[in-house]
Amino acid sequence: MNAPYGKPTLHPARNAPSWPPMPAFDNPLRQQTRRVPEPCTLVIFGATGDLTHRKLIPALYANAAAGTLPEGTRVVGFARRDKDDTGWRAELAESNQSHARCGHDAETWDRFSASLSYHRGDLNDPAAYQGLAERLDAITKETGNGNRLFYLSIAPKFFPVALEQLKAAGLNEGRDGGWARAIVEKPFGTDLASAHELNQVVAETFHEADTYRIDHYLGKETAQNIMVLRFANAIFEPLWRARFIDNVQITCAEQYGMEGGRGGYYDTAGAARDMVQNHLLQLLSLVAMEPPTDLSADSVRDEKVKVLRSLRQMDARGVADNVVRAQYTSGAIGGKTVPGYREEERVAPDSETEPYVAIRAFIDNWRWEGCPFYIRMGKRLPVKATEISLQFKRPPDVLFQRMPSGGRGNVLTIRIQPDEGSALRMLSKTPGTDLQIEEVNMDFSYHESFEVGAPEAYERLLLDAMAGDATLFARRDEVENAWRYIDAIEAAWHDNPRPPAMAEYPAGSWGPAEADLLLAEFGHRWRKPGQPLDNSKT
């Protein structure tokens, strides 16, 4: 029988046949790793808001400075405040000096800001959208480009209003053969019912392929690297399963509390709705997904949805056994005394909302059966950090079990923020005549390895939307399956006549004792982000 790709050769060491590698076919899809962003007119609803000043404009400016922003891109800000182009540009220049990742260069800013213009209008006023349509048509006539990208950087309650008005004004279609797309900020609904209703409104305005539900965690460089780490490295992929991994931990720790009047919003949401439903479940799905058939957006998102559908659903008893909610009491962070959660501004003194949640989750599929995934998110913790930690099972306790460090397993840590990178804990013999074992770390940092800082998430995500690449955006069924999981937890807390008690922890600590017991029941302990991989002594 003929060999499929040539005659086999004998391996010189073991005299065994070794097949030649498959030939590299001339496939343009394999050569092109990313779609090319197209110029468009980007309309930002909420143009005077915090997100626009801190993230969106600095991201666009960074892309312009790097030469990656498509030539001819225009930006139109839409808001109700009485401003003109000059005034809006002056405000943005001031905020860009504070928030631009690459630094603020006056000459570069002058070139970039020439593309910025301001359109005053109320979200509820149909005439404002008709005026916007006329303005966009004038830009299309001037530039010859009919592509439109609408960014809804507004409060979620205004999403349906803006979408319906866009449709009524005919702005949900491109001009002169161009496209029209919408980016929708989180939170995308407050529960499954509201998310489903909002998805229906979006579907009546924009096609699913033209809808980009943004989750900035997916734009972070390390989050994007999870698939490469898993599927491009032979040393990890065979071990990436419950047979070899003892447990997975996903931690999002924040030092701040309810500063800036955030308590008014947060006390209606809580940690599970605000962070777990979107950011942390997205990270979990990237860690746990099966290999996609290719790197297209739907292939990747198909596998993520399978993970969310495989999450073990919990009734009230399951929530009581596997979920801890908590509020911080007064304490100290960085030597500064801070109030407890119920003492924060705009938080109800009898609040039952959780600024901390810890979940022991299980994925009921072939790869992960029996492996616990621990998820926690908390405010007023000692550090600001987000990381994923995969703790491998220990080898048999036969040779080194009596030696210090001999029985510990390997740990792979993926740092999402702030120091993006990854590290692997290994065991090694120390130099000398005695057999002594110590832990050593193999550490990878994006900044040190590539000598450049990782781009901000919004820099990548805005370009992806201009390119029509939805890989790093949430699809409708992703959002709804994530809400289905969180809704069961919320129901056990708020619709249960005997809900689980609210735990407490001092601000500046690592959370309540109940969360430690959640892991101790399975013989595990939390890893503390921002500290060396050996946290067993801390």
Q: Distance from first CA to last CA of the chain, Å, rounded?
A: 62
Token output for 436: 């002594």
Q: For the residues of 94-158, what is the DSSP string, one character each? A: HHHHHH-TT---HHHHHHHHTTEEEEE--TT-HHHHHHHHHHHHHHHHHHS---EEEEE-S-GGG
Catalytic residue list contains 279: yes
Considering Cα of 361, then 365, then 366, then 370, what sign does the dihedral take?
A: positive
Contact 390, 248 (CB under 8 A): yes
DSSP string covering 242-257, please? TTTEEEEEEEEE----
**Full 3-state SS string of 440-496:** EEEEEEHHHHHCCCCCCHHHHHHHHHHHCCCCCEECHHHHHHHHHHHHHHHHHHHCC
**Other Cβ atoms within 10 Å of 240 Cβ, number:** 20
DSSP 8-state secondary structure symbol assigned to residue 370: T
Given 196, 279, 447, 524, which residue is catalytic? Answer: 279
Category of 103 on φ-ψ map: left (φ > 0), alpha (ψ -120 to 50) or beta = left
Residue type, 38: E
Helix (H/G/I), strand (E/B), else coil: 14: coil
CA nearest 170: which of 134, 200, 199, 124?
134
Active site (catalytic) residues: 279
